[in-house]
Chains A and B, each alone.
Chain A
Amino acid sequence: MRAFISSVYLFLYAPIALVVLFSFNAGRSASEFTGFSTAWYGKALGNTFLVSALQNSLMIAFTSATLAAIFGTMAALGMERLAPRNRAIFDALFAAAIVVPGVVIGIATLVALVAVFSFVNPALATIWPGEQPPQLGLGYGSIIAAHGLFSMALVTMIVKARIASLGRDIVEASSDLYATPITTFRLIVLPQILPSILAGFLLAFTFSFDDFIIAFFVAGSKTTLPIYVFASIRRGVTPEINAIATLVLVASLLLILTARILMRDKKPKSGE
């Protein structure tokens, strides 16, 4: 049994370990280790295309995660007030958003965006007072929208779980102690759900930062880090790619670890 479990972990993590190992390769080969070197990291960070793709990815991840955290929290708070049957419907819809494959979301979002653009752009052109009407198109905005929408479902699920564990009675107690609904939210609800909002934000950030499939469909001419990596692989795998992959891996792991710590329940209530 132990050997079986070990082999499962071996299959899971050996490829990743190899990627990390070869990022420190001195030679050009991604299959033959010829000596230890950190040169590829320097090379990767000196690559202007790569750095600009990284900047794009960070900007998109931050913006989409922020939007997802705000709207996801609002959705979670709103769902709390729904009748149980309606809430179950919304629960199922949010869960569906998470299990639908990325390819499907990517294509669906692309189709939806193009349809909206083909309707909005001519309309904008007719009502625009100036010479040059703005043209909506694929780009940063569409990636942020697609990522934000998906991550919102993620944030909603996480925050909702926390709200459910809060219980109505401390909200009622606050109201009983003369606090208006807004004060109650600010002093009682928000401080207690804040860790789960941050956890949701970090997971959303990680998701957006790592996502290739959805971004690939809706990016237009823009390049994110995963898209850049995918494009470079077609010219052959070099240790430079491995170095980028290792950096992304470490950053993602740190973010997810932080999120998990934030989601962990505080000390359980003391006994009776």
Chain B
Amino acid sequence: MTSASTNDIEFRSVAKRYGSVTAVSDINFAVPKGAFMALLGPSGCGKTTCLRMIGGFEQPSEGTVYISGEAMNGVAAYRRPVNMVFQQYALFPHLDVEQNVSYGLRQMRPRISGAEISRRAQEALEMVRLGGFGKRRIHEMSGGQQQRVALARAIVNKPKVLLLDEPLAALDKKLRTAMQIELQTLQRELGITFVLVTHDQEEALSMSDFVCVMNAGRIVQVGPPQEIYDRPSSLFVADFVGKTNRIEATVDNGGTSILFANGTRFAAPSATMPSVGAATVALRPEAISLKRNGAAGTAALAGTVTHRIFLGSSVEYSVDVDGLGDFLVTADRRALGDGDLVEPGDKVGLAFDPNALHVFPA
């Protein structure tokens, strides 16, 4: 456990139960001051429950949540130095934009002067590029604008931690990408700790400094995005974060080699290996390169292309590998060379560095 001064959020052995149903259990993690942390997982994995326990809308059944080193057991939401951006924005429909944004400031004790409140509200609105929209009604704003009002309403209070509950889920793809960049910029400018809940792995990887992957009420892996992607600790993480090929295999020779189900043998990757026995191997689609039969280089597996999905900058191939079934292969167009696209029906070889294999005991 690190000291209070460096962590804005810390969960220690936290569990939450509703009657006999356990929502989350054994939750331990810390968010360093000023970091951007993403809680990532499929719906129902407990990530929102964790966020709501930071916000104070739920109390843990066991364990303690710390904010800036202070235990938050029994502390009501309105006494916590955190603010939340709600999934459906939860703007107050009977107040105008400026009244929404200044709501938190007005509740602060000791009181802040009216002039100071309106100055800070204006500043926050300008920060989310909504200067001049202060007198608008909420229902006159578009979805993207409402999203930014919700953001301004939270950051205007200069909270220690900003909580974001799937804030971009309701936006279309283009707006979502723009907001991702905006949020990241804002987080760096303000230096506030952000905790983002999302089920979108791309969003989690692209925005955050740390990703906390959750499944079925437990944390399965915590680390920087690149580490999560490159060194998934379990088959679940490998599958959930990015696309992956799963291969049935056996680890033998005292853990020094892997035997694929179709009889092909590889040297074990240098990373730590599970003990001898049945295993599942994960291999990223972009770690595989396609070789035309007869082309230079050693092909490790042979197969037939069944589908080609053109994605613009890259191409996805579905390859039926002899004895192993369908493989997904992502090829960079430049690597393939223009006009040199492999066609469905072509016989190809699949080459990869054995160190790219992630081996998990079955």
Q: Report A's interface with B, CB cutoff 8 A.
A: 167, 169-170, 172-181, 183, 187-188, 191-192, 266-272
Contact = CB atoms under 8 A, between A and B. Distances in A.
Contacts of B170: 272
B78 A173 contact: no
A168 to B, nearest CB: 9
Given A173-B84, A269-B139, A270-B143, 17 more contacts: A170-B90, A173-B86, A173-B92, A176-B55, A177-B78, A177-B103, A178-B78, A178-B107, A178-B157, A181-B78, A192-B94, A269-B93, A270-B139, A270-B140, A271-B142, A271-B143, A272-B171
A177 B143 contact: no
Contacts of B153: 177
B141 interface: yes
Contacts, number: 77
Contact of B139 (A169, A176, A178, A267): A267
B267 to A, nearest CB: 52
Contact of B88 (A169, A176, A266): A169
A66 to B, nearest CB: 24
Closest 6 CB pairs of A and B: A177-B104, A173-B90, A169-B90, A178-B107, A272-B143, A175-B77
Contact of B108 (A170, A178, A267): A178
User: Chain A CB within 10 Å — which of B78, B94, B143, B172 has the most?
Assistant: B78
16 contacts: A169-B86, A169-B88, A169-B90, A170-B93, A172-B57, A172-B86, A175-B56, A175-B78, A176-B56, A176-B57, A178-B107, A179-B103, A180-B78, A192-B93, A267-B139, A272-B172
Contacts of B84: 172-173, 176
Nearest to B80: A176
Nearest to B79: A178
A179 B78 contact: yes
B64 to A, nearest CB: 20
A268 B137 CA distance: 12
B201 interface: no
Interface in B47-104: 55-57, 76-79, 82-84, 86-88, 90-94, 103-104
A167 B91 CA distance: 11
A179 B143 contact: no
A172 B76 CA distance: 11
B92 A188 contact: yes
